[in-house]
Structure 1
């Protein structure tokens, strides 16, 4: 079984939703046919802003409406994260939109306390798996990458997607941990990072795809405002796990969410 994704790496215009959606529309409108899923970075429409009261929208807001429109027009799923206000709380929420307009979501669990994210957003409580076209997808957001227990594969997903605004100063950590998550969880990993600068922080992209052996299949380096493609072969993953079934020797554990 093959699965085609499109990675969109762009320079996010700080706290300017309309301009970002306009730029992304130009990129996505030219997406190649036969793409199953388009992946966008964390807070793709605003940048990683702590001004939650300014940038957050409801689930009936402009950003989700735009995602639905693009998914329907292109006949492909699309995902990225957005600041969402719900029941008086703010979440850094991954949104996964199907071509038929169905919406799944995941609220970022690990909030980046060094940047005061925990003071402006509420943490997620549930680990989620999105099932699309028979592919089990684990959505994760940026800082989640540092916490392997949260993404531990219980043989319940095939592909982990990390949407991020990961700073250039910690790019080595980004590259290292993405490979570690792929190897230890025997899965494909997609890391989608922004590029450019925002909020006085520099980002150098390096959005990438890594296979279950830790081999790089695609790296966007420092390219700005680009869309690139990768095809996953899940038959190869299945055969590898049958021959090297390390997941069967994993430790049982209970995850307690405070």
Structure 2
């Protein structure tokens, strides 16, 4: 399967313009033969929109999700998009998967980063989902989640071939290390693909690291975006191509063996 990650310009803050940028990225990915596109964290509202994020948050039946479902059906692409969702009066930082057939899967971010997110959102309570699409098995995380080894390991042990991660990684020395080193290490140590979609540029509150990527089970980057500019990355995910790597580095098999012995 061919997938894409879309790195978006955080300076585009108007909703209609953000929708236009998203639609253009998904349409271009479809034209390249991609079956799935990963967009950044809070891609519809913008990450740095502050209290407007929670004020404008909608329910699963709202206009934002309806629009994403229509875009998925129109382009034939599965879409993973970060947005704020409201349920029972609480607002969550959510990664939403929409498929062309109307399937919707939502994951609420568990690890909220700093006072900014903890003020705006309620922490997710459910485990990250694993689902099948186009013959591969995928897991969902959001930004800070992927920096916890156990989150990716948990998805890998549940059968994920790839982990899809909308993010809003800020620009810093630590951000550069996460983008350049942590993401490929997470892919290698779990023998999975990781698609990591970030913002670039800046909004009213934050500057972003860019450097979105698609990492392979051998730790190599199949595609890498620059630090400063919007980009659409595309790569082929073929788990069978990494059988030798998995045999050489049987981390998951060893973990399963240890679990079996301790049961």
The offset of 1:218, in angstroms, is 0.7
Cα pair distance change 1:105/1:165, threshold 3 Å: same
2:94 aligned partner: 93
In structure 2, C-alpha distance between the alignment counterparts of 1:239 and 1:22, rounded to whole Å:
42
| Residue pair 1:12, 1:46 contacting (<8 A) in 2 also | no
Residue 60 of structure 1: CA displacement?
Answer: 2.0
Structure with bigger helix share is 2
Q: Does residue 22 of structure 1 match 2:20?
A: yes
TM-score under structure 1 length normalisation: 0.89
Q: How many angstroms apart in 2 are the aligned matches of 1:62 and 1:11?
A: 22
The answer for unaligned runs of 5 or more in structure 2 is none
Tell me whether 162-171 or 220-229 shows the greater mean CA deviation.
220-229
SS at match of 1:222: coil
One of 213, 236, 248 as aligned partner of 2:253:
248
Please say if 1:191 is aligned against 2:192: no
Report how far residue 175 of structure 1 moved: 2.1
Corresponding residue for residue 12 of structure 1 = 10
Query: Runs of at least 4 residues of structure 1 off by over 6 A?
Result: none
Instruction: Find the partner of 2:163 among 160, 165, 186.
Output: 160
Q: Name the SS for the 2:34 alignment partner.
A: coil
Distance 2:108 2:64 in 1: 16
* CA drift at 1:233: 1.4
Q: Report if aligned partners of 2:36, 2:78 keep a CA contact under 8 Å in 1.
A: yes
TM-score (norm 2): 0.88
Distance 1:239 1:180 in 2: 17
Q: Is contact 1:15–1:55 with CA below 8 Å preserved after alignment?
A: no
Q: Give the structure 1 partner of residue 116 of structure 2.
A: 116
- Comparing both structures, which one devotes a greater share of its residues to strand? 1
Count of paired positions: 250
List aligned pairs for 1:176-187, cutoff 5 A.
Answer: 176-187=181-192
